Structure 1
Amino acid sequence: MISINDNVTRYIDEILDREEELNVKSYYLENQATVIDCGVNAVGSIGAGILYAMVSLGGFGKISMVPGIIDDYYLHFSQVYIDSPYLACLGSQKPAWKLKIEGYTGTAFGPARAISQKPKALYSAIDYTDDSETAIINIESQALPGEKEIDFIAKQCSTDPECVVALVAKPNSIAGSIVNSTRTVEWVLNRLYQLGYDTRNITSASSATPIAPVMSGEQESMGVSFDSIAYYGMAFLYAKCQDERFKDAVSASSKNYGKGFLSIMKESQGDYSKVDPAMFTTARLTVNGLEDGITKGYGKLNPSMLMTSYGLKNI
């Protein structure tokens, strides 16, 4: 099977070639690792955010920014289409690797997760491993990693630090906001995986989701980005056939529906394990069954909740 790490090296080359244009900054550490600041100290850009997100999908997704209007406000939407979405989303994009290394904290996602097999049960479920020597990792953090952090990642991926490329952005950055808006399909597949559905039955998928405005704080930016998906995210799946579990793969099925994520996170004291997992999915889901020829829609859009989350009011 194709290596998702090898599959994204072309995007790394493009980012490095366009470094000044994209407003990013690359660093070569003493251990020969490459760190690319896409939105920590560097301001970043729309182009950097799109490439950052495409790397996170293992090269199996295409992303563009398209216009959208909600309550007379012009907003940016991310438009995503993905082939082999179980591999792109669960095998790469899912932010499932928590980094806590001697004072450094961050969340790792992207292709290198498939080498480290974090978490192992998920990779067993989708039956995928990647043995590439090149380890390309996305990191969400308020700080850039140094040598000790890269050494740790390299060890977990059974490779040398010089083979590691880390792309880093904080949630309250342009790149951070863009990548979070592209997680709609990932959230749907993760919810279906939790419900016991074999996500390999989904052959292709797409989404359109508002890109949340960048807020001053990390938690505020994460809250509005999550609300974008839960209250106005739209996903389309090509699946083997219709399944009863699809109706439970929309946010309206959650007992927390109707609350903003910032409020939910405060109630749970930042512990995501205490939040109803049904909330972490899309607002609206359409599924086309390829074998039964049936198309069904689930869930609903909630523009009022989204505008409240963004702090926008009509004048």
Structure 2
Amino acid sequence: MNVSPSPRRRVSAHRLSVNGGAGPLVEQLAFDADRLGCAVSTGSAGERLIDAGASVMGSLEAGRLLAEICLGGLGEVQIEAGSGLRHHPFALTVRTSQPVIACLGSQYAGWQLTSEDGGGYFSMGSGPARALAGKEAVLDDIAYADRASEAFLVLETGSPPPEELVRRIAEDCGVAPSDLTILYAPTQSLAGTVQIVARVVEVALHKAHVLHFDLSRIVSGMGNAPLPPPHPDFVTAMGRTNDAVIYGGRILLHVTGPASDARDLAEALPSRNSKDYGTPFGEIFRAYEGDFYKIDANLFSPAEVAVVALETGETFRAGGIVEKLVDASFG
């Protein structure tokens, strides 16, 4: 792209609080835990734990709420008919009028969490707590930090962190462990499936960031991706959730600035630009012997992109849905 990188800006607290926005959604999920197939408990450090699909069944609705929590209350997620695919008609639709903060300031799974007690625990932290801890360069790049008295962390895992890691998370967020809520669900679960596919807009924002597009010019984001069936095998489940976006995902972005930049962004975003494009994700993962970081990063994008240049009213489109690959992945 011929768009110059935006300069790194000093991070300051923003009037939009992703933890504040997520709080009511977390309370709703906790209040309705029995109905939604979730379990609420207190961890050894005093933190609140909400299991949305590890030792419990969870539900699609729990996953929908989990996805909105990941967005810091700055986006809406719906499960509806309308994927455009014959065999997999149900889809997730995501909308946000604060795409940069919602997606990169909250939803993005960018906080590496590793235990130091020899237990080998590892997970990537997602959700509003990231903006309190401020451990990631992307938060500097978008100049966003949060201030809140409670922290909400979402993990794509089958077990919560050990006590020593929980205490470090709380300290990094500047809250007491009792003011930290950790919500978790594995990829193979109903809720995990939903919250992962609901990242269809986030992966586009992240790729736009990698492409050095001025993110302050992205003023609205919408996305849609088919809802895959969960699978008990981790690699198969991971493959399906990724393929839902890579081969079945659509996004619409509204941007300011020159129409030529909108056109270049639309052309650069779709997953078809990856050298690994054209094969179900599970097969790609196995071909690289399970090394996630050997996969071409350009693959992690929606299949079909539309970018509207607000200054001219032009819409630029690129990419396309590949129904046969979605069918091959979903079974």
Q: TM-score, normalized by length of structure 1?
A: 0.94
Unpaired segments ≥5 residues, structure 2? 1-14
| Bigger share in strand | 1
Q: 1:2 is matched with which residue: 9, 13, 16?
A: 16
Task: Write the mapping of 1:92-103 to structure 2, written as runs, cut at 5 A.
Answer: 92-101=106-115, 102-103=119-120
Look up the equivalent residue of 2:309 and give its one-letter code: G
Find the partner of 1:239 among 239, 244, 255.
255
Shift of 1:124: 1.6
**Is 1:38 aligned to residue 55 of structure 2?**
no
3-state secondary structure, aligned to 2:278: coil
Q: Check the 8 A contact 1:67/1:74 in 2, yes or no.
A: no
- The AA in structure 2 aligned to 1:154 is A
Note if contact 1:224-1:310 (Cα within 8 Å) is conserved in structure 2.
Answer: yes
1:77-124 Cα distance to aligned partner (Å, 9 max, x none)? 0011111101111111111122221322222100001111131x2112
Q: 1:173 aligns with which of 168, 182, 189?
A: 189
8 Å Cα contact 2:88/2:226 also seen in 1: no
Residue 221 of structure 1 aligns to which amino acid in structure 2?
Answer: A
Residue 105 (str. 1) matches residue 119 (str. 2): no
SS where residue 44 of structure 1 aligns? coil
- Look up the match of 1:20: 34
* Number of residue pairs the alignment of both structures matches: 310
Which residue in 2 is equivalent to 1:156? 172
Among 115, 118, 121, the residue aligned to 2:135:
118
Moved more, 207-216 or 269-278: 269-278
Structure 1 vs Structure 2: percent identity of aligned residues? 29
Matches within 5 A, 1:217-236: 217-236=233-252
> How far has the Cα of 1:128 moved from its partner?
0.4
**Distance change in 2, residues 1:201/1:307 (3 Å):** same
Alignment-derived partner of residue 7 in structure 2: none
Contact in 1 for aligned 2:121/2:162 (Cα 8 Å):
no
Deviations 1:111-168 (A, max 9, x none): 001111131x211211101122311000111213343332121122122111100110
Tell me by how many angstroms 1:210 deviates: 0.6
278, 282, 300: which one pairs with 2:298? 278
> What is the root-mean-square deviation in Å for CA atoms of aligned residues?
1.5
Question: 2: CA distance between counterparts of 1:190 and 1:73?
Answer: 30
User: SS of the counterpart of 2:35?
Assistant: helix
Determine the structure 1 residue equivalent to 2:207.
191
Please say if residues 256 and 276 of structure 1, whose CA atoms lie closer than 8 Å, have aligned partners that are also in contact.
Answer: yes
2:93 to 72, 79, 82: 79
Of residues 287, 295, 315, the one that matches 1:295 is 315
| Inter-partner Cα distance in structure 1 for 2:299 and 2:38 | 33
Q: 1:154 and 1:5 mapped to 2: Cα distance?
A: 14
Distance 1:114 1:32 in 2: 22
SS of the residue 1:224 aligns to: helix
| 4+ residue runs over 4 A deviation | none
Distance 1:211 1:147 in 2: 35
- Match of 1:23, SS? coil
TM-score by length of structure 2 reads 0.90
Q: Does 1:136 align with 2:152?
A: yes
Provide the rounded CA distance (Å) in 2 between the counterparts of 1:214 and 1:165. 25
Q: Using the TM superposition, give the Cα deviation of residue 30 of structure 1 relative to its aligned residue in structure 2, in angstroms.
A: 4.0
Partner of 2:12: none
Stretches of structure 1 lacking an aligned partner (at least 5 in a row): none
Cα distance between partner residues in 1 of 2:141 and 2:86: 44
